[in-house]
């Protein structure tokens, strides 16, 4: 336990990689943790709203889940656990949610979320028992790169379709990713490391000048933050266990397992450190965090794609950053004022940041191919990558009764199955 909270302190100068067992100075680490929370906040708050859950509870439980993940994985896997979008369709189906206001049947859905977490723990225990050698055989670089790229591409439509309601908003998204790009290319030192946070602040100021100042769009509204209390207890909800809801929601564990595999493979590729021995622990940690979240009234949680994008841009993989991020999320869960302040960030600005982050994830997948020198002159590799990319990007969905396996899930398991299916042929 004493070694769990020990990191070797390194300098922030240049663009050197900061490994999972290293950290910057504590003030810089806190700033990096805040950047991750901001990057994840939009989706972490949006998913519960779409399901009729309490956003403050979801934010709180995402922080608790992140801290649990840190402990169970021994502080060796950099990851933030946020609300999973994979639960949306099954929760709506199980609870009969109308789409407006609080979900009156949230308790029934929570029982299913807990069942899903328990099933994911079983998956993790199986991986721990059988070892991870089979994972390497099932997921060579061509498969891993495809899965990681799909994680970013599958989310591309979220900021473009759902976070810009008009022409002005679209231009502000462009201004936002331009701000982030300028910081990334021209800034130096810690400012460059904080490219997402600094770019977001700069874009928000530009947005406020154009809207609040010139009246060109919907103005920034801070009234919610001004009237919100500094501290407040979230509205927790106890779960109710219904067999029908549990059978409908529990299979989402398959999607969570796929997302965890892709996350760890991406970090392995970016850091050069083999995290396969920790896959079982990661699944168990995510399952435990999902159960805790469901028990308190929160959504199921998963490793977040936005993590990969921010880490790829900053080259900082320190687990200390995520320990701080988890603590910040817990504090936000008990502070309606800070939550309202984050929610006051203009949606187009969050959309522009998301475009950058999701694009970085897709590029991280391509980097796996490049580093592993994947030979696309071989038809086996070409077909695996081509099919899985389009299946994942287009959100190709397969339904098994009332359970739906969406884009990331179909792309992950499709790439694995295609690679195995085409393995009989060695001809180019």
What pLDDT is stored for residue 272 in this prediction?
Answer: 81
Q: What is the pTM of this model?
A: 0.72
Cβ atoms of 355 and 160 within 8 Å: the answer is: yes
CA 248 to chain centre: 23
Quote the DSSP letter at residue 97: -
Token couple for 400: 């098994």
What pLDDT is stored for residue 284 in this prediction?
Answer: 96
User: Which range is least confidently modeled, 71-80, 143-152, 397-406?
Assistant: 397-406
What pLDDT is stored for residue 67 in this prediction?
Answer: 95
CA 406 to chain centre: 16
Cβ atoms of 115 and 293 within 8 Å: the answer is: no
Question: Above pLDDT 70, what percent of the chain?
Answer: 91
Q: Is the model's pLDDT at 416 over the cut of 50?
A: yes
pLDDT digits (tens, 9 = 90+) for 199-228: 888 999 999 998 888 888 888 888 877 888
- Distance from C-alpha of 308 to C-alpha of 320, rounded to nearest angstrom: 16
What is the rounded end-to-end Cα distance, in angstroms, of the chain? 51
Please provide residue 81's backbone torsions phi and psi, each rounded to the nearest 5 degrees: -100, 120
Q: β-strand 8-9 against 22-23: which pairing, if any?
A: parallel
Q: Is the model's pLDDT at 426 over the cut of 60?
A: no
pLDDT digits (tens, 9 = 90+) for 373-385: 889 989 999 999 9
pLDDT digits (tens, 9 = 90+) for 390-399: 998 888 888 8
Q: What is the mean pLDDT of residues 147-165?
A: 77
How far lies 119's CA from each of 107, 155, 253, 409, in Å? 19, 26, 6, 16
CA 257 to chain centre: 13
């Amino acid at each position: 336990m004493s070694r769990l909270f020990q990191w070797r302190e390194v300098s922030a100068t240049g663009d050197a990689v900061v490994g999972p067992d290293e950290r910057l100075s504590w003030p810089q680490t806190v700033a990096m943790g805040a950047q991750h929370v901001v990057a994840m906040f939009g989706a972490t708050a949006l998913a519960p709203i779409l399901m009729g859950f309490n956003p403050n509870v979801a934010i709180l439980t995402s922080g608790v889940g992140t801290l649990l993940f840190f402990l169970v994985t021994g502080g060796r896997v950099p990851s933030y656990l946020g609300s999973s979008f994979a639960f949306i369709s099954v929760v709506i189906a199980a609870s009969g949610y109308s789409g407006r206001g609080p979900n009156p049947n949230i308790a029934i859905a929570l029982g299913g979320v807990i069942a899903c977490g328990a099933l994911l723990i079983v998956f993790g225990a199986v991986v721990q028992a059988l070892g991870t050698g089979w994972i390497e055989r099932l997921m060579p670089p061509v498969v891993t790169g495809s899965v990681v790229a799909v994680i970013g591409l599958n989310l591309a439509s979220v900021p473009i379709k759902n976070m810009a309601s008009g022409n002005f908003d679209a231009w502000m998204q462009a201004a936002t990713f331009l701000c982030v790009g300028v910081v990334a290319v021209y800034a130096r030192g810690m400012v460059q490391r904080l490219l997402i946070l600094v770019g977001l602040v700069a874009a928000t100021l530009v947005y406020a000048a154009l809207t609040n100042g010139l009246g060109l769009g919907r103005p920034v509204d801070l009234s919610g933050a001004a009237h919100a209390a500094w501290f407040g207890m979230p509205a927790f909800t106890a779960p109710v266990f219904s067999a029908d809801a549990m059978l409908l929601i529990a299979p989402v564990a398959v999607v969570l397992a796929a997302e965890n595999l892709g996350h760890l493979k991406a970090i392995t590729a970016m850091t050069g450190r083999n995290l396969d021995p920790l896959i079982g622990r990661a699944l168990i940690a995510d399952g435990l965090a999902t159960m805790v979240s469901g028990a308190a009234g929160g959504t199921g949680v998963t490793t977040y794609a936005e993590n990969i994008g921010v880490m790829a841009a900053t080259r900082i993989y320190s687990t200390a950053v995520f320990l701080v991020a988890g603590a910040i999320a817990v504090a936000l869960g008990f502070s309606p004022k800070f939550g309202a302040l984050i929610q006051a960030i203009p949606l187009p600005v969050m959309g522009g940041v998301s475009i950058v982050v999701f694009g970085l994830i897709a590029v991280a997948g391509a980097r796996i191919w490049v580093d592993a020198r994947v030979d696309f002159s071989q038809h086996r590799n070409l077909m695996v990558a081509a099919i899985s990319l389009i299946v994942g990007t287009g959100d190709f969905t397969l339904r098994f009764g009332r359970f739906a396996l969406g884009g990331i899930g179909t792309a992950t398991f499709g790439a694995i199955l295609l690679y195995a299916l085409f393995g009989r042929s060695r001809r180019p």
